[in-house]
């Protein structure tokens, strides 16, 4: 898994946690920005530069902390995405939210590469496995959290970059996966309930298992 692996995070603190856990030196870790647009652009640039240099990456993982849906992913745990979903890319309608697929503008979901996901599952057997939604606006109310949970019953976590990274990887023909550690519950923004330190510790542990 390690040879030719690119791990992208949103912010430097996440990249530092991943680097702190890694015991191998053949992995590139880089922060590419917050949100799906920055993540897609930054990842695409790194993939293109590596290919142009004659040493293309063999796989890319979107990694970092995120929110866990209550009763689906506990605080401080590790999550592996079966698929990354652009949860707010679409249109409103009188009948509810219409995802990109239903509008006929392309997929709003990218599945993790099966082989890469299986290797991650073997390395992290205690991880929760399920869909991870990508939102440009983080969920902040009980109503929004319930609506997302109902719309995506297989979703276990929420973040802001996975779908962007997945899009860049797909266009480059590079296997993709998403790994999150849970810092807060999806729903009302209660900073007192966040467990950032535990999430970073879990991120370091997850990185240490990659080899």
Return the residue matching tokens 């590079």. Answer: 174
Which domains occur in the chain, in start order?
A: 5-208 (3.40.50.1580)
Beta strand 128-134 pairing with 78-86? parallel
pLDDT confidence of residue 121: 97
| Per-residue model confidence as pLDDT tens digits over 159-211 | 999 999 999 999 999 999 999 999 999 988 888 778 999 999 999 999 999 87
pLDDT at 76: 94
How do residues 98-125 score in pLDDT, each as one tens digit? 888 888 888 899 999 999 999 999 999 9
pLDDT at 48: 96
CB-based burial label for 141 (10 Å; 0-12, 13-18, 19+): exposed
17-70 residue pLDDT tens: 999 999 888 899 999 999 999 999 999 999 999 999 999 999 999 999 999 999
- Strand positions, DSSP E, 59-197: 59-68, 78-86, 90-91, 98-99, 109-111, 128-134, 155-159, 176-185
- What is the rounded average pLDDT of the residues 10-21? 97
pTM of the model: 0.93
pLDDT of residue 2: 58
CA-nearest of 177, 68, 157 to 117 is: 177
What band does 78 get if pLDDT is binned at 50, 70 and 90? very high
Which residue in 209, 211, 206 sits closest to 66, CA to CA?
206
């Amino acid at each position: 898994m390690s040879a030719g692996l690119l791990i992208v995070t949103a912010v430097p603190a996440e990249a530092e946690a991943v680097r702190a856990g890694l015991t191998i030196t053949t992995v590139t870790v880089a922060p590419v920005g917050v949100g799906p647009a920055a993540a897609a652009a930054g990842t695409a640039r790194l993939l293109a530069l590596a290919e142009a240099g004659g040493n293309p990456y063999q796989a890319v993982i979107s990694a970092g902390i995120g929110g866990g849906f209550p009763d689906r992913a506990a605080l401080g745990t590790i999550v592996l995405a079966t698929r990354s979903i652009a949860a707010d890319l679409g249109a409103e309608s009188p009948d509810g939210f219409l995802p990109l697929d239903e509008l006929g503008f392309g997929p709003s979901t990218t599945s993790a590469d099966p082989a890469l996901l299986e290797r991650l599952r073997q390395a992290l057997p205690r991880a929760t496995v399920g869909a991870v939604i990508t939102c440009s606006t983080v969920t902040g109310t009980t109503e929004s959290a319930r609506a997302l949970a109902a719309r995506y019953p297989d979703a276990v976590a929420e973040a802001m970059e996975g779908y962007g990274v997945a899009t860049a990887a797909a266009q480059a023909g590079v296997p993709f996966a998403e790994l999150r550690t849970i810092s807060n519950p999806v729903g009302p923004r209660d900073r007192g309930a966040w467990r950032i330190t535990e999430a970073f510790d879990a991120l370091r542990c997850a990185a240490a298992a990659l080899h």
